[in-house]
Amino acid sequence: MRVPINTITPDTPSAEVIGWAHEIRDLGGLAFLLIRDRTGIIQVTVPKKKVAPEIAETIRAISRESVVRVTGMVKPEGKAPGGRELIPDAIEIVSLSATPLPLDVAEKVPAELDTRLDNRFLDARRPRVSAIFKIRNAVQHATRNFFFDNGFIEINTSKIVAAATEGGTELFPIAYFEKEAFLNQSPQLYKQMMMAAGFEKVYEIGPIFRAEEHNTTKHLNEATSIDIEVSFTDHIGVMQTLEDLVRDIYQFVDKTCSDAIADLGLDSFAVPEKGFPRLPYSEAIEIASAKCEEDIAYGDDIGTAAERAIGEEMGRMYFIVDWPSSIRPYYAMPYENDPEICKAFDMMHPRMELSSGAQRVHQHDLLVEQIAKKGLNPENFEFYLNPFRFGMPPHAGWGLGAERLVTTMLGLPNVREAVLFPRDRHRVVP
């Protein structure tokens, strides 16, 4: 039907393009029409006295963001985008756009985030916005390549569950025939069950749901989690896998997404250095206590202000390790010589937490004991506990937030910008 705009060079003799009317300028005897598709922009130059009358009439009828088809001769033009212009033999309005537009796709007039999200189909036509999702696509492509090359098996687990995976009440209940059911917080329990199945190395990229009443720039109620579980390793082993993956993703994006990076106006795109520092929780609390006005005690979770203070001190991606068992999930393995500390970790960007993981408890009786310590009823986890009775190998894993990774990678001000159709406390449409 047409050729992609970025394939047209100054040496191309003729072309037929279809795209959106990005800008229209009528200077009387001369009109300029910029046509955009996902690959780029081309200038259509219309000398009204030298073209057929119907072409000049059609130009006057085109509204911005209409879909148009143009056939004509290509000529070199140094001042035009891409160094070439299209002199039309025919112009057709394929789909006329209504006016006025809800937002300016040409990005000359800024729009509020809510307006953009309400009109996401139009917002995503903007080169800067489409660049985010081209890069997100590359992130997920690199992730799958990394796991395939490293012997992982991709799994897809159920998002409808009968019990919380991590305890607590942050669950969305759903009507499921005559039974009580919830949207899953995490594939955690299922990943561990696949360790009992002998899969040894699994990963999943899929949605998770958290009924948290947050309304911040870094929280979503539906997010995409990149999860792994690995047998015959510990927390140290999967931390290294996580660091290797993140660096590999950055390198792939740097190599394959130069145009999208340029569209975002990023001055630089730096791949994180090897060897993410490992900061014990106790030292992280000391840093936060010294830098934050609020009181932070040992055994407290690390909130936004503390994250920011520690991130400023560290200045790069890093791990917080050796967490108190009391504030980590029941499946985190305690140290043998100090059960009050567990083999858990968070991977941090200076702006926010990106990933959380741990070596898991693989002994049935200890797991039952820890579930009970968290105030949960082990009987509600029978489907999960049963595999631990039949030879569960030692294993460890983590979950990495895809949106937070993209947000921090690109310096986006709000995690919602990294999601096509975000779901938060107030937004359930479009």
**Positions of E strands within 187-332:** 201-209, 222-231, 278-280, 318-324
The band of 296, judged by pLDDT with boundaries at 50, 70 and 90, is confident
Q: How do residues 82-99 score in pLDDT, each as one tens digit?
A: 999 999 999 999 999 999
User: 3-state DSSP call for residue 60?
Assistant: helix
- pTM for the predicted model, two decimal places: 0.94
> What are 40's strand-pairing partners?
37
Are 56 and 48 contacting, i.e. CB atoms less than 8 angstroms apart? yes
Please name the amino acid found at residue 331: Y
Give the residue extent of every domain in the chain. Answer: 5-95, 121-277+316-418
The architecture CATH gives domain 5-95 = Beta Barrel (2.40)
Please write the tens of the pLDDT for every residue from 14-53.
999 999 999 999 998 899 999 999 999 999 999 988 888 9
Beta bridge partners of 68: 19, 93
Give how far Cα 399 sits from Cα of 3, 53, 341, 388, Å. Answer: 41, 62, 20, 21
- Tell me the CATH number of domain 121-277+316-418, given options 3.30.930.10, 3.40.50.300, 1.10.3720.10, 1.20.59.20: 3.30.930.10
pLDDT over 70 (residue 67) = yes
Is it the case that residue 106 has pLDDT exceeding 80?
yes
Determine contact, residues 254/271, Cβ cutoff 8 Å. Answer: yes
- Structure confidence at residue 1 as a pLDDT band (50, 70, 90): confident
Cβ proximity of 37 and 44 under 8 Å:
no
pLDDT for 42: 97
Element (H, E) at 85: strand 84-95
Q: What percent of the chain has pLDDT over 90?
A: 90
216: alpha, beta or left? (left if phi > 0; alpha if psi -120 to 50): beta
H helices present in 376-416, as ranges: 382-385, 402-410
